[in-house]
Amino acid sequence: MKEVNYEYPLKATWECSANISNNGFLECDNQDSCIIDHHSILLRFNYTSLSKKKLGVISVNEDALSTKQYFEAGQKGIRYLNITGVKSLKDVSITCENCDISVSNQLLGFKNPDLASGPILVIAPHADDAELSAYGLYSDHASNTWIATINTGSNLQGLERQYIQNLDTDIALAEKRKGYIRSWNAMTTPLLAKVPIQQLLSLGYFNISSSSVLNTPKDIVSHPSISDISPNNFRQWNHLKLSNDTHNINSGAALIQDLIELIEHIQPSTILVTHPEIDPHNEHVASAIALHLALQKSTFIPENILFYVNHLRGIKLFPYGPEHSRTALPPWFKSSSLLDDSSCYSHALSYSKQQEKVLAFDTMHDLRSKDRLEKKLKRWINKKIKKNGYQYYGNHNYFQTHIKADEVFITISGNTFKKKIFY
């Protein structure tokens, strides 16, 4: 059995030892010091899978599907169980299926950021990144949320991959059309959550990598197949005007300047961005680096930075388990992080909010994958014969992995992020 530990340099607001009794109840030392209200709570434990194929399932109180959390088959090591939202630690009972949990564990409490203290700025590398990571969070703070989508995400591997088959017979036209569609998705989907249109921006960049931002920020980045394309092609719906509307330059420096102007105009108390160490997508890393460089030049620094993860290297089905189950921190196997002393925030989504999130996904063209006969058959067997608990709302895996009862973020202060060098 493979032993791998989730290792995070977490700095909890409070922590205490917690044992699992013979009858499955959680017994905490110094329970009076464990603050539950307005805190995210994780149980750090040693996990052992009992199956090479079936996911481990840990249930808390077993009163609803949302209390179940799923873990890797065929592995063991340190994991985190999300028990945020319990009414009393005294009443927490834990049962396991296809796995074992250690008796002696550590309970970690993290004070939640005050999201209502000021505006929230969500930085989305592409259309759908804001929805995948934070639809529940931003819809709960819709009137105070701004969303800036950086890239058009217009590249196609071939004409057969365009959204509407046979619509375009030229790859350049097909890619430009894909950019328009994704920009439209980014500007309209948040309206379902009642985010004001005036607070949505499509920045229209393309092929901006971490190297473009760090090493050659002033160099103009060209599109590999479209000659007559620029950021302004995709900014037509923006209400807020930025200086690059005039310059119309596709470069790392232009992106950084846009972020500076956005931060100083919005003055957000909280900024959401992709985690630069865990999420490996190059344009996601570039987004975090660009924010870091913008904060170094900005006259305003947010109170909180919330990091989210939409991609994992070599892992496709995290968060694990059926739709509506719980989740916690994503896999992170390195023993250190340059973003150390980080905290954790778990944002709860009601069942109806999760259903809204399904609808938001359905409005995103990039999440409309084809349903091949073989996949249909496998899903039918899994759902009807094996009764695996999945609803299969959509064909794309994100409909299963990211429709969960929690949206979980790694957090640090804005000042800390500004001072850190993580590249």
Architecture of the domain defined by 118-311+350-387+399-403: 3-Layer(aba) Sandwich (3.40)
Average pLDDT of 108-116?
97
Describe the crossing of helices 129-140 and 351-362 by its angle, rounded to 10 degrees.
Answer: 140
What pLDDT is stored for residue 108 in this prediction? Answer: 96
**What's the pLDDT at 347?**
98
State pLDDT tens for residues 334-344: 877 888 889 99
379-397 pLDDT, tens per residue?
888 888 888 889 999 999 9
| 8 Å CB contact between 120 and 270 | yes
Per-residue pLDDT of 121-153, as tens digits, reads 999 999 999 999 999 999 999 999 999 999 999
Distance CA 212, CA 219 (A): 8
Nearest Cα to 132, choosing from 248, 302, 274, 345?
274
Out of 28-32, 116-120, 122-126, pick the least confident. 28-32
142 vs 371: which has the higher pLDDT: 142
- Using pLDDT thresholds of 50, 70 and 90, give the confidence band for residue 371: confident
Is the pTM for the entire model greater than 0.85?
yes
- CB-CB contact of 250 with 235 (8 Å): no
Question: d(Cα 209, Cα 191) in Å, to the nearest integer?
Answer: 29
* pLDDT tops 80 at residue 96: yes
Domain regions of the chain by residue span: 2-111, 118-311+350-387+399-403
Class of domain 2-111: mainly beta
Q: What is the mean pLDDT of residues 313-340?
A: 91
Check whether 66 has a pLDDT greater than 70: no
Q: Are strands 145-151 and 120-124 parallel, antiparallel or unpaired?
A: parallel
pLDDT tens profile 36-62: 999 999 999 999 999 999 999 999 985
